[in-house]
């Protein structure tokens, strides 16, 4: 049994399918003499194709973002054409009879060892560029996670170092029962995707790829954060029983999707869905969400080879709006940086403190053309929303000061004027902020006059409040949603919004966590946005709790001084309210 971080609750038993970083089990079988020439030709063809892609990217990014941002692709093409790079790959194919993927794998390992010895920060940064080039070559040579390449029968447990957005998109065509990653946290890409699809998942299981091979029987316990490799018959029987109970409970809860969300004493609630792509809108509808409370547009950029232009974005937003429950969507502008980077905007992860640096709205302000293109696409897509009950809202991430929010509103106003002069129809779009910076929480009363609504991004708010990187295993234990300081800040934010009569939603992971959900109800929150799979269970939980009961629990909790006291108290009360929910919450 290995211990990691519980990131998506539930239990799954299945067959391991290992993705070793970029490469899906590179074939180590030696080439026959007659195969060498063909393999060299295959590599050269892939290299030419990648070279063409990089040149096209350079031109498009220079046109849309600027010369400085586009320069990265010139660097990548230089690496691709580097004689030493090419000579090594060809040598391993010819002399060691490796296939191209295996040669690239060995090349990357060699460069990693070489660059890890240097103290030169510039050279260390170049390793990221080499990785990007190798990823592109590998993507051409082999299709990662392509279903017809998966010869394993039955449900799969994906085991990876980390799950990239491009890989995650392919999961929609594969029967995935669970996910295990060596890296990551409760808010990593893999975690977000797993929760949105109701897939049990565990992250930060150090060295798991060295202990598991494709085809092994494996258990994922997303409640306790446990991974069991090759369980004995007794353990297998016990976990299989838990797995059946988990899926049966999910099926039962999904039956309430057509029922309105309300508390035991009849208080109506809005349970919305967080989505990453139009694929997730299907789950949002199926699970009974009343709208989309957060569309993370960065996944459109992360899964795109280059900058999505206005037309591509317009098509995407229209599709999202049309397919979302009740055609209600809150679209968040680009939230790149920190743990989410794209090559055409530079390597933000090379900053000393990327989560505190050049990211989100700060990055958008530095690239006004890119930012304006996104705003134009949203305003044009919203023009189609005319009937009663439909609504498109535009939200901006990582707002820290009143000045930033005023600057945003000025840019939106000028973009509207530009579109009107062009004769383009535009929609009436409320403008809001994502509250995730403590400074904004403290000064929220000053910002209230320039926002139409507030969405609390609890994931980042907690890590900034606790000064602890949620992806750092040495300190992420401090990022606790149920810690007293977090609860007090949230209560203050929700009270300020309610007093100003401005809609407030919480769209972080807390919204789908049963113990936190009850306390948020007690604070006066009535709009929650969560992974689609969590909507039925929160709807059920809400029906078991009255507002006075939630308020009483909150008042008791606010007397506690430690997170452990809060957890014990809420776990005890949750068992009384809804005993089945232990299977759906992290331990």
> Is 189 annotated in the active site?
yes
Mark whether 361 and 315 lie in a shared domain: yes
Residues 94 and 170 in one domain: no
pTM (predicted TM-score)? 0.78
- Give 28: exposed, middle or buried? Use CB within 10 Å, 0-12, 13-18, 19+: exposed
Same domain, 56 and 162: no
| Within-domain flag for 473 | yes
For residue 289, the enclosing domain spans 255-584
- Asked if residue 27 belongs to a domain, the reply is no
What was the pLDDT predicted at 349?
47
Residue 161 is given by DSSP the state S
**pLDDT for position 562:** 97
pLDDT band for 63, please (50, 70, 90 cuts). confident
Same domain assignment for residues 286 and 383: yes
Q: Enter the tokens of residue 329.
A: 């969507």
In this structure, is residue 376 part of a structural domain?
yes
Q: Cα–Cα distance between 427 and 230 in angstroms, integer?
A: 56
Measured CA to CA in angstroms, residue 36 lies from 30, 32, 41, 387, 425 at distances of 10, 7, 9, 63, 59
Whichever domain contains 37, its CATH number is: 1.10.274.10
Instruction: Sort 265 into a burial class: Cβ within 10 Å, 0-12 / 13-18 / 19+.
Output: exposed
Distance, in Å, from the CA atom of 145 to the CA atom of 141, rounded to the nearest integer, reads: 13
Look-up of token digits 């055609």: 327
Residues 281 and 212 in one domain: no
Single out the catalytic residue among 290, 479, 497, 507.
Answer: 507
Burial-class residue 251 by CB neighbours within 10 Å (0-12, 13-18, 19+).
exposed
Residue 211, Cβ neighbours under 10 Å: how many? 13
Tell me if 28 is assigned to some domain.
Answer: no
358 and 481 in a single domain? The answer is yes
What is the count of structural domains for the chain?
A: 3
Within a domain: residue 147?
no
Assigned domain for 146 exists: no
Helix (H) or strand (E) holding 13: strand 11-19
In order of 178, 261, 479, the CA distances from 539 in angstroms are: 24, 5, 26
The helix/strand/coil state of 154 is coil
Q: Would you state the pLDDT for residue 343?
A: 62
CATH number of 216's domain:
3.50.30.10
| Chosen domain end from 231, 250, 269 | 250
The verdict on residue 503 lying in a domain is: yes
pLDDT by residue (tens digit) across 85-127? 999 999 999 998 998 888 988 888 888 777 766 665 556 667 7
165 with 282, same domain: the answer is no
Residues 263/543, Cβ–Cβ less than 8 Å: yes
Residues 551 and 448 in one domain: yes
Of 189, 226, 327, 367, the catalytic one is: 189
What pLDDT digit, counting tens, does each position of 254-270 carry? Answer: 788 888 999 999 999 99
Confidence bin at 153 (pLDDT 50/70/90): low
- Looking at the structure, do residues 127 and 181 belong to the same domain, yes or no? no
405 plus 454 within the same structural domain: yes
Beta-sheet strand order (sheet of 11-19): 2-3, 226-229, 217-221, 11-19, 156-160, 176-181, 201-203, 5-8
pLDDT by residue (tens digit) across 267-293?
999 999 999 888 789 889 989 999 999
Q: Which of 56-70, 250-264, 327-341, 485-499 has the lowest mean pLDDT?
A: 56-70
| Last residue in a domain, options 250, 276, 295 | 250
DSSP state for residue 363 in the 8-state scheme = H
* 550 has a pLDDT exceeding 80: yes
Q: Does 220 lie in the same domain as 95?
A: no
Whether residues 404 and 537 share a domain: the answer is: yes
pLDDT: is 355 or 318 the higher one? 318
| Distance separating alpha carbons of residues 505 and 515, to the nearest angstrom | 17
The verdict on residue 541 lying in a domain is yes
Active-site residue 290, yes or no? no
Q: Is residue 219 over pLDDT 80? A: yes
**CATH code (residue 261):** 3.20.20.60
Count Cα atoms within 13 angstroms, Cβ side, for 352. Answer: 1
SS (H, E, C) 40-88: HHHHHHHHHHHHHHHHHHHHHHHHHCCHHHHHHHHHHHHHHHCHHHHHH
Q: Assess contact for 411 and 372: CB atoms under 8 A.
A: yes
Q: What gap in Å lies between CA 567 and CA 574, rounded to an integer?
A: 10
Of 58-72, 289-303, 308-322, the one with minimum mean pLDDT is 58-72
Residue 516 CB burial class (10 angstroms; 0-12, 13-18, ≥19): buried
Among 250, 276, 301, give the residue marking a domain's end. Answer: 250
């Amino acid at each position: 049994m290995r211990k990691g971080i519980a990131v998506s609750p539930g239990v799954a038993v299945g067959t391991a399918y290992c993705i070793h970083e970029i490469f899906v089990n590179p074939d180590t079988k030696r080439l026959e003499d007659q195969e060498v020439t063909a393999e060299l030709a295959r590599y050269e063809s892939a290299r030419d194709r990648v070279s063409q892609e990089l040149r096209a990217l350079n031109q498009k990014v220079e046109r849309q973002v600027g010369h400085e941002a586009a320069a990265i692709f010139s660097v990548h093409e230089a690496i691709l054409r580097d004689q030493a790079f090419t000579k090594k790959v060809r040598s391993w194919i010819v002399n060691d009879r490796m296939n191209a993927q295996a040669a690239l794998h060995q090349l990357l390992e060699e460069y990693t060892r070489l660059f890890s010895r240097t103290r030169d920060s510039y050279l260390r940064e170049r390793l990221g560029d080499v990785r990007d080039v190798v990823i592109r070559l590998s993507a051409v040579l082999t299709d990662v996670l392509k279903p017809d390449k998966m010869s394993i029968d039955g449900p799969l447990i994906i085991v990876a170092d980390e799950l990239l957005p491009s890989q995650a998109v392919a999961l929609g065509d594969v029967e995935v029962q669970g996910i295990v990653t060596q890296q990551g946290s409760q808010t990593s890409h893999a975690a977000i995707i797993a929760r949105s699809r109701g897939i049990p998942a565990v992250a930060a299981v150090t060295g798991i790829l060295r202990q598991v091979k494709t085809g092994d029987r494996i258990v994922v316990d997303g409640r306790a954060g446990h991974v069991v490799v090759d369980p004995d018959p007794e353990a297998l029987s016990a976990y299989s029983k838990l797995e059946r109970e988990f899926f049966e409970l999910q099926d039962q809860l999904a039956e309430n999707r057509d029922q309105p969300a309300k508390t035991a004493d009849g208080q109506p609630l809005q349970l919305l869905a967080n989505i990453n792509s139009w694929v997730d809108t299907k789950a949002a509808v199926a699970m009974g969400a009343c709208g989309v409370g957060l569309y993370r547009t960065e996944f459109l950029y992360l899964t795109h080879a280059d900058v999505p232009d206005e037309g591509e974005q317009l098509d995407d937003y229209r599709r999202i709006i049309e397919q979302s429950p009740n055609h209600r969507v809150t679209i968040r502008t680009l939230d790149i940086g920190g743990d989410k980077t794209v090559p055409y905007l530079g390597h933000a992860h090379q900053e000393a403190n990327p989560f505190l640096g050049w990211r989100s709205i700060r990055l958008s302000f530095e690239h006004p053309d890119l930012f304006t293109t996104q705003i134009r696409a949203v305003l044009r897509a919203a023009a189609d929303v005319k009937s009663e009950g439909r609504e498109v809202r535009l939200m901006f991430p990582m707002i820290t000061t009143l000045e930033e929010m005023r600057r945003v509103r000025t840019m939106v106003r000028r973009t509207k004027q530009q579109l009107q002069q062009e004769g383009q129809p535009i929609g009436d779009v409320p403008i809001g902020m994502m509250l995730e910076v403590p400074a904004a929480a403290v000064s929220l009363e000053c910002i209230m006059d320039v926002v139409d609504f507030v969405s609390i991004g609890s994931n980042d708010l907690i890590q900034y409040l606790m000064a602890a990187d949620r992806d750092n295993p040495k300190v992420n234990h401090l990022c606790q949603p149920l810690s007293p300081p977090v609860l007090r800040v949230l209560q203050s934010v929700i009270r300020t919004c309610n007093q100003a009569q401005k809609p407030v939603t919480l769209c972080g992971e807390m919204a789908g966590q049963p113990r936190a959900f009850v306390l948020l109800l007690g604070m006066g929150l009535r709009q929650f946005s969560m992974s689609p799979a969590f909507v039925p269970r929160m709807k059920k939980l809400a029906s078991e709790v009255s507002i006075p009961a939630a308020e009483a629990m909150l008042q008791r909790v606010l007397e506690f001084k430690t997170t452990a006291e809060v957890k014990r108290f809420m776990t005890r009360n949750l068992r009384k309210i809804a005993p089945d929910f232990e299977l759906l919450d992290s331990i």
